[in-house]
A and B are shown apart, each in its own frame.
Chain A
Amino acid sequence: MSDHAMMSTDERLAYMAEHILRNFATRGEDEAIEATAEHIGLYWDPSMKARATAMADEPGVPLSEAARAVFRRLGEEQPLT
């Protein structure tokens, strides 16, 4: 993990997603991905979601597969309205 205090915004978003995933981990990976995507949908602002979506398939970004799945799902979801 990079120094948390020096994270870029993208690194911080990735970290936040992984952190949420870990707290849903007891539900199993599929449900955790679903719950994390739902959580982010409810609480992140559009620019954060857009950055997350853009990171989903960026090979250079250190993301777990589960986090990538979450970010892909954000991109697939319809806007809230």
Chain B
Amino acid sequence: MTFTREKDFGTPAKHGETVSLTIDGQPVSVPAGTSIMRAAAMVDTAIPKLCATDSLESFGSCRLCLVEIEGRKGYPASCTTPVAPEMVVRTETDKLRKLRRGVMELYISDHPLDCLTCSANGDCELQDQAGAVGLRDVRFGYEGANHLEGCKDESNPYFTFDPAKCIVCSRCVRACDDVQGTLALTVDGRGFASKIAASQGEDFLSSECVSCGACVQACPTSALIENTVIDKGTPDKSVVTTCAYCGVGCTFRAEMRGEDLVRMVPWKEGKANHGHSCVKGRFAWGYAQHRDRILNPMVRTSVDEPWREVSWEEAITHVASEFRRIQSSYGTRAIGGITSSRCTNEETFLVQKLIRQGFGNNNVDTCARVCHSPTGYGLKTTFGTSAGTQDFDSVEQADVILVIGANPTDGHPVFASRMKRRLREGARLIVVDPRRIDLVRSPHIEAAYHLPLQPGTNVALLTAMAHVIVTEGLVDEAYVRERCDGEAYAEWAAFVSEPARSPEAIEELTGVPAADLRAAARLYATGGNGAIYYGLGVTEHSQGSSTVMAIANLAMATGNVGKPGTGVNPLRGQNNVQGSCDMGSFPHELPGYRHVSDNATRALFEADWGVTLDAQPGLRINNMLDAATDGTFKGIFIQGEDILQSDPNTKHVAAGLAAMECVVVQDLFLNETANYAHVFLPGSTFLEKDGTFTNAERRIQMVRKVMEPKNGYADWEVVQLVANAMGLRWTYTHPSQIMDEIARLTPTFAGVSFDVLEERGSVQWPMNAAAPEGTPTMHLDQFVRGKGLFVVTDYVPTDERTGPRFPLLLTTGRILSQYNVGAQTRRTENGAWHAEDRLEIHPHDAENRGIRDGDWVALRSRAGETTLRALITDRVAPGVVYTTFHHPDTQANVITTDFSDWATNCPEYKVTAVQVMPSNGPSDWQTRYREQSDRSRRIATVEPAE
């Protein structure tokens, strides 16, 4: 590992016919439209620059990159001048040197001369360029008017803005505008008075800044610099790895100083993020070193006892012994496990292998059960495989973007930035969401249609869109005829054409004006490439699977599957939720989405693993909990998931866990589930292990160890210890061997190996003999299942109903700065933006209840009650309230019920009938829970040995 900066070509790459020119005597051939600066950089001629960087279009303000061009007058800026055929360019002449030195003198005359004590010393473009132009003195002196007394803005917990070091090159402003798309920064004032300002001259924390870090990355000086660099110094080595937050799968350079992580810098070559980041991946990695991390295994006989720290050997032996005892007493199927979508593919594969090979059953499930299991069911049924159809780059060719049940700017911010860029370029936007999410109206973006439907009516709305498309003759008949099952289409078309499916017929039900719905359907069907992006607002319903199939129906009917710019794109929640599903984490599927009853597939695994595998599906998480309360399910291994906080109906989860005899939790922290655990095995962070994650676009990317595991073992090693203690004879010495096994047993991964990933950076499955380069766009010539299958999706209302006792509908979601149950982000400075869950309530509903903004309110449902503070906003419609579930003090899932999707049992988080009333403070349940939680977290003090 050594530290080298990523090469900066100055301006973005272009695509076009090749143009040949000469730069400093060297022949160069580049695509038309390329800047002279970039062409020069491509032959390792670095033209001095300050305002240019290759993540931004050229601006031409610093005047440092001047060149001479034969036959042209003057000294044009190389960043803004495109190449031309036969052009002859000179980048170093006496005149150019003199001009550049003069420019640099002006910059330095108004810049602190503190290089030796500056945080960016050695990592500063201004410093480098001063050297490059040969600056030796400043003729103008340093006593004139300057900006050296500007006050630092240290409001943001992650970076500092020092205006004294700002050269007003506008790179930060342009990064915020063009890369992030937030437009939070501006150049305030004119001429000498120009200065960078956040929003309306506010500090960064109070402004609209979303702390994505693009401005910091773009800054050529230390005017904007990470606080960790100020504290620790500049890095001396780096490793490229993949973020462990959301399903976008951004790749970063983990920049280190010794064993200390200094900063995470988005990697320009990353194919998912193209050098961009969000506040979580860029800055919120401090949890990896947090004092709350548990580093030693712990055991206890009863959850009422304090934890007792033990050796790894004792803990592992205890786990194996307990699991075998339980199976001996209660049967083979009395234990099971849950894989983690935060862990690597290799680790997830091993956990399901442990359960299938070692436990001898299929009682394995994963957190996708509670998020995208309907995606698996719906897309496999209609298209033939359980994954999104496109790569992220596809959005650049979309003409109409339909976002349903997703909030990309909060949940998938880096992809949202790319989507916003496409929208600024002119793509049209349809948003289907009960809430007015930010995308509906934000700087330079306005949805053509926002359809604010009543929670729980997705299927009715999508079927009405289909009604419009079919009855108005907007179906792509040639596509349907060639690509889809004709009989199924005919049945579906007849169904959706019935008057009862029309927008007018369902207007009262959905609350969406029929005219808007008709217009949105017409736009999607006729507006060019139509791309659908969806999230948990689609899947987490009692008809989640039906909604996914209704989306697939729309896409097939309009010919919007199988080419760039279109498709059905689930925005996956966790970093490796796609991978955990791919790896066989569902109780009915072996890796590669093959049913456990398939004899040929089972035979393949049986031959490799040397055991007979169970041909019957195992228990889903909620069924495991039911079986536990019934006394037939007694032990569970939970890796990296906090089901007590994340799963619905907390009391049901708690009762199930409490009924088990051996609950083993492996995690970084004593999470809420660990309150009910008998064994705690410390986990390792993504910084401490090798492996792969698979993102929402099926892209498999390397996770690389940048430091040794603080707990002693990577998670895959811990699983291997458990497996071998249970009598299996695993001999993996590196995760690459696990991937080799995955490739050997899984046709869609047949061409994947660590060597291939090292060589190519990343690949998208399927990758095999039929697709040797991987598969950016699926279903190109035909669907995986052959003919695309239209499925009739009748609207079946949820059984969760409002009424006099519970008149409001609660829907839950997440916020940009926090992640899922908050185990990671709550242990960072991200609390500066979101320190507690709040209940969003419409002013009308608040007024009726005498609730003021910030008041404590009691939130009650049929399942339970909690309290939290109110946030009054018209972002939610009257009758609808919304909250996040990031904080265990709130425990929003005490409220949610265990109604679930009919096909997959994915919980119906998005529809809970509730009442909201003023409150004085925590509910009795919250108080009791806090006491129990504190008691459960006690760790016995061990007397030192004599």
Contact = CB atoms under 8 A, between A and B. Distances in A.
Interface in B852-906: 862-863, 897-899, 902-905
A4 B630 CA distance: 17
A19 B615 contact: no
Given A5-B649, A26-B792, A45 B333 contact: yes
A21 to B, nearest CB: 9
Interface in B808-854: none
Interface residues of B, number: 41
A22 B796 CA distance: 7
B543 A23 contact: yes
B234 interface: no
Nearest to A81: B615
B626 A5 contact: no
Contacts of B902: 16, 19-20, 22-23
Given A9-B626, A19-B542, A26 B615 contact: no
Interface string A9-52: 10010001001101101110000000000010011111110000
A26 B898 CA distance: 25
Contact of B546 (A5, A23, A44): A23
Contacts of A65: none
A68 B898 CA distance: 23
Nearest to A45: B619
Q: Which interface residue of B363, B616, B899 has the most chain A CB atoms within 10 A?
A: B616
A43 B862 contact: no
Contacts of A20: 902-903
Interface string A47-78: 11000000000000000000000000000000
Q: Which of A5, A43, A45, A47 has the most CB of B within 10 A?
A: A45
Consensus secondary structure, chain B interface: loop
B329 interface: no
A81 to B, nearest CB: 4
B883 to A, nearest CB: 19
Given A20-B903, A47-B632, A9 B542 contact: no
B499 to A, nearest CB: 16
Given A3-B862, A4-B862, A9 B627 contact: yes
B90 interface: no
A48 B363 CA distance: 13
B799 A4 contact: yes
B597 A80 contact: yes
Contacts of A42: 588, 595, 597, 617
Given A25-B794, A26-B794, A81-B615, A43 B588 contact: yes
B796 A23 contact: yes
B287 interface: no
B4 interface: no
A3 B861 CA distance: 12
A47 B898 contact: no
Contacts of A39: 903
B643 to A, nearest CB: 17
Nearest to B797: A22
A81 B623 CA distance: 22
Interface string B779-806: 0000000000000101010011000000
Contacts of B596: 80
Contacts of A25: 794, 796
B599 interface: yes
Nearest to B602: A81
Contacts of A47: 333, 619, 627, 632
Interface string B579-613: 00000000110000001110100000000000000
B158 interface: no
A48 B627 CA distance: 9
A6 B903 CA distance: 21
Contacts of B599: 81
B863 A5 contact: yes
B434 interface: no
Nearest to B586: A43
B597 A81 contact: yes
Nearest to B622: A12
Contacts of B618: 45
B495 interface: yes
Nearest to A46: B616
A16 B905 CA distance: 9
Nearest to A23: B902
A48 B618 CA distance: 10
Contact of A79 (B543, B595, B616, B898): B616
A16 B904 CA distance: 10
Contacts of A9: 626-627, 629-630
17 contacts: A3-B862, A4-B899, A5-B862, A5-B863, A5-B897, A9-B627, A16-B902, A19-B902, A22-B902, A23-B794, A25-B796, A26-B792, A26-B794, A45-B363, A45-B617, A48-B623, A80-B616
Given A5-B651, A45-B618, 18 more contacts: A1-B799, A3-B862, A4-B800, A5-B649, A9-B629, A16-B905, A20-B903, A22-B796, A23-B546, A23-B794, A25-B794, A25-B796, A44-B623, A45-B362, A46-B333, A47-B627, A47-B632, A81-B616
Interface of B: 333, 362-363, 495, 542-543, 546, 587-588, 595-597, 599, 615-619, 623, 626-627, 629-630, 632, 649, 651-652, 792, 794, 796, 799-800, 862-863, 897-899, 902-905
5 A-B pairs with least C-beta separation: A81-B615, A80-B597, A23-B902, A19-B902, A26-B794
